[in-house]
Amino acid sequence: MSALTFSLKQTPAQRLDLSPLVSQNLQGLSLAEIAALELQNGKAKRRVDEVFSISGDDAQDIVFNASSDKLDFIGKQLDGGRITVNGDAGAYLGLNMKNGAIVVTGNSGIYSGCEMKNGLIEIHGNAGDFIGGALPGNKQGMKGGTILVKGNAGARVGDHMRRGQILIEGNAGDYCGSRMLAGTIAVMGDTGRFLGYAMRRGTLLLWKQPRCLSGHVTSSRRLVDRHQFQS
């Protein structure tokens, strides 16, 4: 068996929802049946074979050969198997992910790993805002699993995070660990303003001394004492 591979024919003009293309949905389907599935593309719907060339047959090993930040919802609710993105991914990568692994060789957009429950997300480039966070209006972010970012991450890393681990090998933006309830965030590079804003519990591991701590935590001194700083 070979990986079920979707090669992007051309960059879509509008944002493309790839949430149907996960292992549990594609298992047991023929290539013709997969090709006929419809994807939301802006206000329109397009067949999979209009957007991608399709090859392979292993739905537990999915590959997207693409480089577009308009490819949203890759791996949404993934419940096993592996997805590899050779290029960039759009917003909501691994939203509500339950199990399995997602590897992105490029960058990812906002809300990567948002509200994920388990599994592994590995991003070799940079990640946007709210990685491992909660959707707007929700108060439960990442609930388990691991997110690894080789590059930099945007603002609000782990916002409302409840469980799991996030490792940022580069820098993290403002409000890292904001409203965090539990879990671990490790940042090897610099952190922005308002670190640990409204954080209640959990662990921040920093390789560099932070520029400033949030003034909105109950006790800034206790926050410093609880977390490990290495230089």
Hey, what amino acid is at 221? R
Residues 6 or more apart from 222 whose CB is under 8 A from it?
none
pTM for the full model?
0.91
Which contiguous run of DSSP H or E holds residue 7? strand 3-8
Which tokens sit at 123?
């991003």
Give residues with Cβ within 8 angstroms of 225, minimum separation 6.
none
CATH code for the structural domain at 61-229? 2.160.20.60
Rounded Cα distance, 119 and 203, in Å: 20
Tell me the one-letter amino acid at 51: V
List helix spans (H) across 57-158.
Answer: none
For the chain, domain boundaries: 61-229
**Nearest by Cα to 204 from 219, 178, 218, 215:** 178
pLDDT tens, position by position, 196-218: 999 999 999 999 988 766 554 43
Per the prediction, the chain carries an average pLDDT of 91
Asked whether the predicted pLDDT for residue 229 surpasses 50, the reply is no
Checking if the pLDDT of 178 tops 60, the result is yes
Instruction: Return the pLDDT at 223.
Output: 42
Residue 209 pLDDT: 87
The Cα–Cα gap between 93 and 71 comes to 9
Tell me how far apart the terminal alpha carbons of the chain are, to the nearest angstrom. 48
CA 182 to chain centre: 18
Whose CA is closest to 140, among 176, 180, 175?
180
What's the rounded mean pLDDT across residues 8-27?
A: 95
Q: How would you list the strands of the sheet with 38-41, edge to edge?
A: 44-47, 38-41, 16-17, 71-72
**CA 142 – CA 158 distance, rounded (Å):** 7
Amino acid identity, position 130? F
Angle at 87 between CA 64 and CA 185, to 5 degrees: 105
* pLDDT at residue 27 greater than cutoff 70: yes
Note the pLDDT tens digit of each residue in 61-118: 999 998 789 999 999 999 999 999 999 999 999 999 999 999 999 999 999 999 999 9
Q: Is the pLDDT of residue 227 over 70?
A: no
Q: What is the pLDDT of residue 210?
A: 85
pLDDT above 90 (res 225): no
Residue 44: pLDDT over 50? yes
User: Which two three-digit tokens encode residue 86?
Assistant: 């050779």
